[in-house]
Amino acid sequence: MTWCQLFSEPGAGSDLAGLATKATRTEGGWRITGQKIWTTAAQFSDWGALLARTDPSAPKHNGITYFLLDMKSEGVQVKPLRELTGGAMFNTVFIDDVFVPDDCVLGEVNRGWEVSRNTLTAERVSIGSSEAPFLANLDEFVGFLRDGQFDQVAQNRGGQLIAEGHAAKVLNMRSTLLTLAGGDAMPSAAISKLLSMRTAQGYAEFAVSTFGTDAAIGDPEELAGKWGQYLLASRATTIYGGTSEVQLNIIAERLLGLPRDP
């Protein structure tokens, strides 16, 4: 079974609690209407985890409910978004008066924000693993270095990236174990996501700099073109799952005790 995450909206990205998708009570459940965007793999998903506003009069974090949405429901329409790589990993999802039964509410009504924090933490831990098929990973980068000839400056940079990659893996394991133990892994997951994505970008930038224009015009099935695709795909990593600025704010406020960003 494949799931997608129906959180972000055209007007609610980094400020997710500003979402406008609404759910209205009806007999036996809810009627949901709204639009979600940047939904990964929505076109392949069986179910979606959806946030909708159920109490518009409540403070924005308090009037949200977490729903489980059958993606095959009448009124759900998925439209792919063509991206920099030429692919369509992300989608816009239109939800037009879709019925969701009461037993598809996860947690308490109007307290979905608390549940969503667990989902967001798990998402950042997952992203921090850097094992997505469209991104370069540590083992692949090490293999690339072993097969090439590099000067001392490049060797030093490659070694730095490998060290950062191992550090990111350790941080991600720590966040995973903390999550499984029922702890608050959000701050450590923010660090893990931030470092892992910067490292994945670093791998691709390093490789593309050695291939030059071949990376831009090469066949994605060949080595140079593949690393060019990795570079293009890596640009989105500092945006999805919470921008780098959001992660830095979490670290500053939750770990360093600094004042909230105004």
- Check: CB of residue 66 under 8 Å from CB of residue 107: yes
- Check: CB of residue 42 under 8 Å from CB of residue 78: yes
Angle at 100 between CA 107 and CA 59, to 5 degrees: 50
State the SS3 of 176-240: HHHHHCCCCCHHHHHHHHHHHHHHHHHHHHHHHHHHCHHHHHCCCCCHHHHHHHHHHHHHHHHCC
Task: Record the tokens describing residue 101, joined without a space.
Answer: 């039964």
How far apart CA 195 and CA 248 sit, in angstroms, is 11
Q: Which of 138, 159, 67 is nearest to 107 (CA)?
A: 67
Task: Record the tokens describing residue 200, joined without a space.
Answer: 């994945």
Residue of 83, 123, 131, 222 with catalytic role: 123
Q: Is 249 exposed, middle or buried (0-12, 13-18, 19+ CB in 10 A)?
A: middle
Examine the residue annotation and report whether 123 is marked as an active-site residue of this protein.
yes
How far apart CA 132 and CA 136 sit, in angstroms, is 8
- Check: CB of residue 58 under 8 Å from CB of residue 113: no
Q: Catalytic residue positions?
A: 123
